Amino acid sequence: MVDLTKQKKSMKLLRRSLLKSGIIMLCIVFIGCAYLPFDSYFGDLITSLRMPLLVLTFVCGLLLLLMNVKKIALGILAACIAGLLTLLPSPSWTTGLSAEMLSIKQINLNYNNPHIAKQLAALKNQSWDMLVLQEYSDLNRHLLRPFLTQADLFGYREAEGIPYGIVVISRLPIVYRQQVKLDGDRLGFIKLRLLFKDTVITTYIAHPPSPRTKQHWQNRNYLLAAMSEALLSEKTPWLVIGDLNVVPWSYYFDFGTASSCYTQANAYVSFTPFRFFDSLFTGLPIEHCIFSDEFSLENLSVTSFEGSDHKMLSYQLSLNKS
């Protein structure tokens, strides 16, 4: 009887030990998935879910704490808190405003957005130098007419069409325009040169495919790599703007030492796939503004946009002419 009791006790201790080891292994796997730069399809998708992975690791750390594995649990919790703090967004960020600012707004409208007419009417009366619209339907081309007397447009002319669903409304003169085709009209990006004060700046605007399939993921990576390569030979101050369908910690988010809205300001979330559950846990930062060393970010706000599951980025950049 005594031996049976000892055996049950030892089995209970063994199960508890195995459970602790299993939870610790899960923590290691979750943290590894959150931070290792995977270059495979599924690895890249999993890594983009850094927030959920860290939250799950935090929960596992709490379980270890309850199981009296204090040192390991406290280490895991500290690592999670440090990681989560870098992902907490700020709705607005600013260092100060000046008359010499380049003001930009960008939004993925959603092709089926029923509120575009109302939203464009409101945007028309707001202050900005450049408005970048993505997933703009050709059926709504007529809604751009009120801007014709106030701005230069890319994507309005019949000859241009609306390549890749991109429309650019610029209150700065557009002195050069090009559709860079990587795979006909199916894949590519827009290159525009604008005159800001007395300086020509170059903007690259893109909306790569969402990586819902491996082929779309490969096309996205191909487009990002092509833009990154084009920037190496760029002689003017430059910007990359768009819903790039990639998180900034992805292996494929490779723009060298360039700064971005995400790195210079507090982190943000710009896309939530579940409209009924808009939260940090389900959101991703896939809208980006990336810029050369001549620019500095002075102001950033991330706001909801009616009819879209994406948020609008509004920001101001100063240009260092020295």
Of the candidates 275, 209, 301, the one whose C-alpha atom is nearest the C-alpha of residue 246 is 209
- Per-residue pLDDT of 114-133, as tens digits, reads 999 999 999 999 999 999 99
How would residue 256 be classed by pLDDT, with cut points 50, 70 and 90?
Answer: confident
Q: Report the alpha-carbon distance of residue 119 to residue 112 in Å, rounded.
A: 14
Residues 6+ apart with CB under 8 A from 150: 124, 171
Q: Which of 85, 114, 145 is the last residue of a domain?
A: 85
Same domain, 224 and 268: yes
Q: Which of 85, 111, 134 is the last residue of a domain?
A: 85
Same domain, 120 and 229: yes
Integer CA distances (angstroms), 16 to 10, 20, 187, 210, 296, in order: 10, 6, 54, 43, 54
How would residue 94 be classed by pLDDT, with cut points 50, 70 and 90?
Answer: low
pLDDT computed for residue 11 by the predictor: 74
What is the domain extent for residue 189?
92-319
Residue 200 CB neighbours (<10 A): 14
Integer CA distances (angstroms), 198 to 90, 154, 319, in order: 33, 21, 11
How would residue 320 be classed by pLDDT, with cut points 50, 70 and 90?
Answer: confident
Residues 6+ apart with CB under 8 A from 250: 37, 44, 47, 48
Q: Which of 40, 65, 85 is the last residue of a domain?
A: 85
- Per-residue pLDDT of 34-44, as tens digits, reads 998 888 999 99
Same domain, 27 and 98: no
Pairing of strands 101-108, 287-291: unpaired
- Mean pLDDT along residues 135-146: 91
For the chain, how are helix, strand and coil distributed in percent, rounded to 5?
35, 25, 35
SS3 category, 7: helix
Of the candidates 163, 314, 290, 297, the one whose C-alpha atom is nearest the C-alpha of residue 227 is 290
Average pLDDT, the chain: 88
Q: Report the alpha-carbon distance of residue 137 to residue 65 in Å, rounded.
A: 53
The pTM assigned to this predicted structure is: 0.88
Look at the alpha carbons of 131, 137, 138, 143 in this order and tell me if their dihedral is positive or negative: negative
Task: Identify the CATH number of the domain in which residue 293 sits.
Answer: 3.60.10.10
Q: Quick one: angle between helices 2-35 and 70-85, nearest 10?
A: 20
Same domain, 260 and 153: yes
Q: Count how many domains the chain has.
A: 2
Residue 287 CB neighbours (<10 A): 26
At residue 130, φ and ψ (nearest 5 deg) are: -145, 130
Same domain, 55 and 101: no
Q: Report the alpha-carbon distance of residue 41 to residue 47 in Å, rounded.
A: 10
Same domain, 13 and 144: no
Same domain, 20 and 106: no
Same domain, 20 and 105: no
Same domain, 106 and 145: yes
Of the candidates 216, 215, 155, 219, the one whose C-alpha atom is nearest the C-alpha of residue 183 is 219
Same domain, 38 and 81: yes
Better-predicted residue by pLDDT, 2 or 65: 65
Same domain, 188 and 53: no
Of the candidates 246, 289, 316, 207, the one whose C-alpha atom is nearest the C-alpha of residue 41 is 246
- Per-residue pLDDT of 45-56, as tens digits, reads 999 999 899 999
- Per-residue pLDDT of 279-314, as tens digits, reads 667 789 999 999 999 999 999 999 999 999 999 999
